[in-house]
Amino acid sequence: MFTLRRFVSACLIASVGSVVLAEPVTPPDAGGNDTLEARSDEGNAAETSIAASEAPEMTTEAIDPAAAPLASLLPEEPDRLTIALVMPPDGSPFTAASKIVGNGLLAASQTSREPAEVLLVEAPESTSLTEVLQSAVVAGADVVVGPLQKERVTELIRIGALPLPVVALNHPSEAIPDAEIPANLVMMSLSTENEAEYIARLAVAALEESAPEAPVPAIPAPDASAQDVSAPTAPVPALPDATAPLADETGALTVPERQKILILSQSGAWETRIAESYAKVLTASGTPFEIYRIDDMDLKRLREKVQPVLSEEDERRFAQRRQELRHLPGTTESERRIRDQALKRLDSDMAVRRAESTPPYAGILLALDAQSASIVRTSLPRKSRVWGTSTSNPGDPSASSAATALAFDLEGLVFAECPLLLRYDAQSFTARFAASMPYSPAAKRLFAFGADAFGVAERWAQSNRSFEMEGETGRLVLDRDRSPVVERTPQTVLVREGHLIEVASESVAKPGPLPEVSIPSRQTLTVKEVLPAKASVTVVPVIIEDVGPEQPAPSKMLPAPVRSDPSAPAAPEATPPGIETRPFEAPFEEPGAAAAVPIADAPASDGEEPLPEPSVL
């Protein structure tokens, strides 16, 4: 588009020997497409022209073109940020998830105040990350985002000095001290283990023995690589063998005077990881706990285990009353009927009294999907606090009747979730990101993760070693001098009367009943509220690849030209063979059903098919 900057440049070139300003002329194709700022600049130019006509006439001797080059008279063109996104090769089990993460990054970039150039760097698995980084340098990248695989992140750390800033999308597959992590590398993650540790700390803070005034502990890095491995850590008890369902295990640190917590889990891989994350926090805090497997969904045995116990006084009183009723005369049918009715009323009174008693477990942590959690919740005492991760999210009640039914079954559940899943409907999502909303909750989380990766990369490329940002996956905090991990605090959600309500963590992390909350009608953001203040009116949509109902295909993205940076350190003369670096100018093709192997890392809810995403997330 013929911009105002280029129009002024053309005028200056045409009148190099004169300093008398010409009358302002409207650019040929500026009508309708110029922004408010451009109109303001035209008004300022007109005022300058009037002022110049009233000033004393100046001759051409005032400016010597040889002494003052024309380039110095023009405003400098600001350099656009260039982000290189490391993609796995086609056919990799990480490809589907990486594409959705990439689409989230691109959508955030295109709708930001200063859009970046996004390049895709694709290479075979056999290619070293050193060559991948060299390709990014040759292409003129300012920062690299990726890789997504844990093993590749470990390989990245082993390189040592990196030629440019890097934002890794996972943690290493093994424990690595912070001192061995390159100085220009930061790591962010979307792991459910991080959410499990966050929820477990809230559950500990809500115990009766916890001080009500105590603040909620900060959430540590979810991976051992972000911690000092030389510091002693309490052992994490192993989970019961998967072949022995309904086995119980008691934490080693049992303190009788403290309330106990029950962890309900199944024997799946991701359920086991969540349960172990719960156990790690509880063991470190000295909270007694048990891990209970419910693979066979024997709800009767579960109810017997978790039902509240009557006090000794109540037990003695009800036993005495029962003994008295049994000794009543029952010679006639009328007397027997009266006696049986009295015994039934006594049983009913005992059940009511037991329900009002203190349950044996003050908190119950769920390592279950939404469907299993809804079945189990109906068998748990109402006075027990029930906690979970995003895997127990029932879905959007306003968009699905099945999600509404699950939400009513999960009454009182407190879980962690990405804010993006709670604050947008399809219309406001499109207004914010200029893209169609992903269909499944797992895809929405990956999209949010990519959007936050853009925000982190933008700040990290500017050498911001310490920052905080409210992202789509939660609150993100980086203090690079303390840790290379971008710590994520997810949003706390309370299920109340079939609604998912965002609450402050401090309101649930204290003893006593859950906070009273109002049940608001669903609030959706308007286009004016979700668009950035200085965002361009013309926004290019981003293609969202997702397994779901057919949606109208948006237009393709504009190509981002590759620019080279001759001052980049240790830049090779050419891209290493086997590596393709290209602008992201065409939508990703949806992965075929045959190649989609569902891995239940983030189980789908509301009857949806699970997204083929890597289990390491």
**Backbone torsions φ then ψ of 390, nearest 5 degrees:** -65, -15
3-class secondary-structure state, position 354: helix
The pLDDT, as a whole number, for residue 597 is 33
What is the chain's alpha carbon radius of gyration, rounded to the nearest angstrom? 31
Q: What confidence tens digit (pLDDT) does each residue in 546-601 have?
A: 434 333 333 333 333 333 344 444 445 566 666 777 776 544 544 433 333 333 33
- Give me the amino acid identity at 484: P
CA distance 237 to 278: 11
The pLDDT, as a whole number, for residue 6 is 41
The pLDDT, as a whole number, for residue 49 is 47
CA distance 27 to 9: 12
The pLDDT, as a whole number, for residue 226 is 38
CA distance 238 to 236: 6
| Burial (CB count within 10 angstroms: exposed 0-12, middle 13-18, buried 19+), residue 567 | exposed
Q: Which of 602, 595, 78, 188 is nearest to 370 (CA)?
A: 602
Q: Which CATH number fits domain 83-187+425-488+533-617: 1.20.1440.230, 3.40.50.2300, 3.40.50.1950, 3.40.50.300?
A: 3.40.50.2300
The pLDDT, as a whole number, for residue 382 is 82
CA distance 107 to 169: 17
Beta bridge partners of 113: none
In contact, 610 and 599? CB cutoff 8 Å:
yes
Q: What confidence tens digit (pLDDT) does each residue in 54-102 have?
A: 444 444 444 454 444 544 544 555 689 999 999 998 888 999 999 999 9
**Backbone torsions φ then ψ of 6, nearest 5 degrees:** -70, -35
- Give me the amino acid identity at 93: P
Q: Which residues contact 543 (CB under 8 A, 6 or more apart)?
A: 103, 435, 553, 554, 556, 557, 587, 588
Whole-model pTM: value is: 0.69
Residue in this structure with the two tokens 């509404």, named with its chain if needed = 404
Strand ranges, E, within 444-490: 466-470, 475-479, 487-489
* Alpha carbon distances (Å) from 475 to 180, 467, 470: 27, 11, 5
* Alpha carbon distances (Å) from 612 to 10, 310, 458, 597, 601: 53, 48, 29, 6, 9
Region for 366 from its dihedrals, namely left if φ exceeds 0, alpha if ψ lies in -120 to 50, beta otherwise = beta
**Longest CA pairwise span in the chain (Å):** 131
Beta bridge partners of 260: 361
Residue length, the chain? Answer: 617
What is the separation, in whole angstroms, between the first and last Cα of the chain?
42
The pLDDT, as a whole number, for residue 331 is 77
The pLDDT, as a whole number, for residue 575 is 62
Fold of 192-307+359-418+490-508: Rossmann fold (3.40.50)
Q: What confidence tens digit (pLDDT) does each residue in 117-167 have?
A: 999 998 888 899 999 999 999 999 999 999 999 999 999 999 999 999 999
The pLDDT, as a whole number, for residue 78 is 60
Beta bridge partners of 500: 495
In contact, 598 and 609? CB cutoff 8 Å:
yes
* Low-confidence stretches of the chain (pLDDT beneath 70): 1-78, 209-258, 520-578, 584-617
CA distance 197 to 209: 20
CA distance 324 to 478: 69
In contact, 152 and 132? CB cutoff 8 Å:
no
Looking at 35-86, list the stretches that DSSP marks H as alpha helix, in order from N- to C-terminal side.
36-54, 70-73
How is residue 512 annotated by DSSP? S
